[in-house]
């Protein structure tokens, strides 16, 4: 899509909006790093997506001394490249099963901090790295801040499946789980389906927002289907979510129900 983005950016109004969204992502990421990546943290999980590069950028700004002796655990190919390009040390969760803090993006976050993740098809590793962390923090722009899941993210819930079982799982998701419009995610610059970093396919399952009043129940139902590897519903996992706003403020929602509006980090 780079051609489309380039032509959109030529329209001044669209260009302003795009750069507004980018600066909202950066604001959320910088503020979350300032609040949660402390000198004593040695093992840090790095998520995937377009907001996370700003997380790595801010961590690099903490300086070589702060990052000496730290190891960064990626959630997929993209975040591994980010870590390597930033000249930070990379590790894997099998060597470091206990992570101090993981910071990751999200596709949608509800008022209880339940998240839809997997827009980049990385949600299996993302969930492992989030679960391994003592503190899991979400960073996103204001568009992801929602009351109820499946309101602002039309593709719905990403479901990673083993390839040979996709037809059976897709039919079950459509007919038994209640997502009649669920589809197999197709690749854009490759003929055929998206293949994850783990060699699996992804089904995107939109649900009515009412169904998402209890996302844990939907998660349990989908996870019980044989052939499902992981579901992009992250329920009761995040300690806080940071949303960058267009006016330069950051909305922080905490797991205990508190919400703060603060000025974003100095850039």
Residues that bind ligand 5RP (CB under 6 A): 47-51, 104-107, 117-123, 126
What is the DSSP secondary structure assignment for residue 30, as one 8-state letter?
A: H
Report the alpha-carbon distance of residue 129 to residue 103 in Å, rounded.
9
Q: Residue ranges of the alpha helices (H) in 87-214?
A: 123-131, 166-172
CB of 117 or CB of 185, closer to ligand 5RP:
117
Rounded alpha-carbon distances, angstroms, from residue 3 to 21, 163, 171:
19, 31, 36
Report the alpha-carbon distance of residue 140 to residue 134 in Å, rounded.
20
CB of 140 or CB of 169, closer to ligand 5RP:
140
CB of 226 or CB of 267, closer to ligand 5RP:
267
Is residue 65 annotated as part of the catalytic site, yes or no? Answer: no
Q: How far is the CB of 141 from ligand 5RP (least distance, A)?
A: 7
Report the alpha-carbon distance of residue 244 to residue 247 in Å, rounded.
9
Rounded alpha-carbon distances, angstroms, from residue 133 to 18, 136, 207, 239:
32, 6, 29, 11
Rounded alpha-carbon distances, angstroms, from residue 191 to 120, 160, 182:
18, 19, 20
Report the alpha-carbon distance of residue 41 to residue 95 in Å, rounded.
16
How are strands ordered across the β-sheet holding 108-109? 108-109, 115-116, 233-234
The one catalytic residue in 108, 126, 160, 230 is 126
CB of 117 or CB of 211, closer to ligand 5RP:
117
CB of 24 or CB of 67, closer to ligand 5RP:
24
Q: How far is the CB of 108 from ligand 5RP (least distance, A)?
A: 9
Q: How far is the CB of 232 from ligand 5RP (least distance, A)?
A: 7
Q: How far is the CB of 77 from ligand 5RP (least distance, A)?
A: 11
Helix H or strand E segment including 142: none
Q: How far is the CB of 83 from ligand 5RP (least distance, A)?
A: 15
Q: What are the residue numbers of the active site? A: 126
């Amino acid at each position: 899509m780079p051609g489309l983005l380039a032509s959109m950016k030529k329209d001044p109004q669209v260009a302003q909006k795009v750069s507004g969204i980018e600066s909202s992502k950066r604001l959320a990421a910088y503020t979350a790093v300032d609040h949660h990546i402390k000198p004593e943290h040695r093992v840090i999980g790095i998520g995937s997506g377009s907001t996370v590069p700003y997380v790595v950028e801010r961590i690099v700004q903490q300086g070589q001394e702060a990052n000496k002796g730290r190891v960064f655990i990626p959630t997929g190919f993209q975040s591994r490249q980010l870590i390597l390009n930033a000249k930070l040390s990379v590790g894997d969760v099998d060597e470091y099963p206990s992570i101090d803090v993981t910071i990751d993006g999200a596709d949608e976050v509800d008022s209880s901090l339940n998240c839809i993740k997997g827009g980049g098809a990385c949600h299996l590793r993302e969930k492992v790295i989030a679960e391994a962390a003592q503190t899991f923090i979400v960073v996103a722009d204001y568009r992801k801040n929602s009351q109820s899941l499946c309101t602002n993210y039309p593709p719905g819930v990403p479901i990673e499946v083993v390839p040979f079982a996709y037809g059976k799982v897709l039919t079950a998701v459509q007919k038994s789980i209640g997502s009649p419009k669920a589809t197999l995610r197709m690749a854009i610059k490759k003929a055929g389906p998206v293949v994850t970093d783990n060699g699996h396919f992804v089904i995107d399952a939109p649900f009515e927002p009412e169904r998402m009043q209890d996302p844990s129940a939907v998660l349990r139902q989908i996870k019980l289907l044989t052939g499902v590897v992981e579901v992009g519903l992250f329920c009761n996992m995040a300690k806080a979510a940071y949303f960058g706003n267009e006016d330069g403020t950051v909305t922080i929602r905490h797991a205990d129900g508190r919400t703060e509006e603060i000025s974003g980090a100095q850039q």
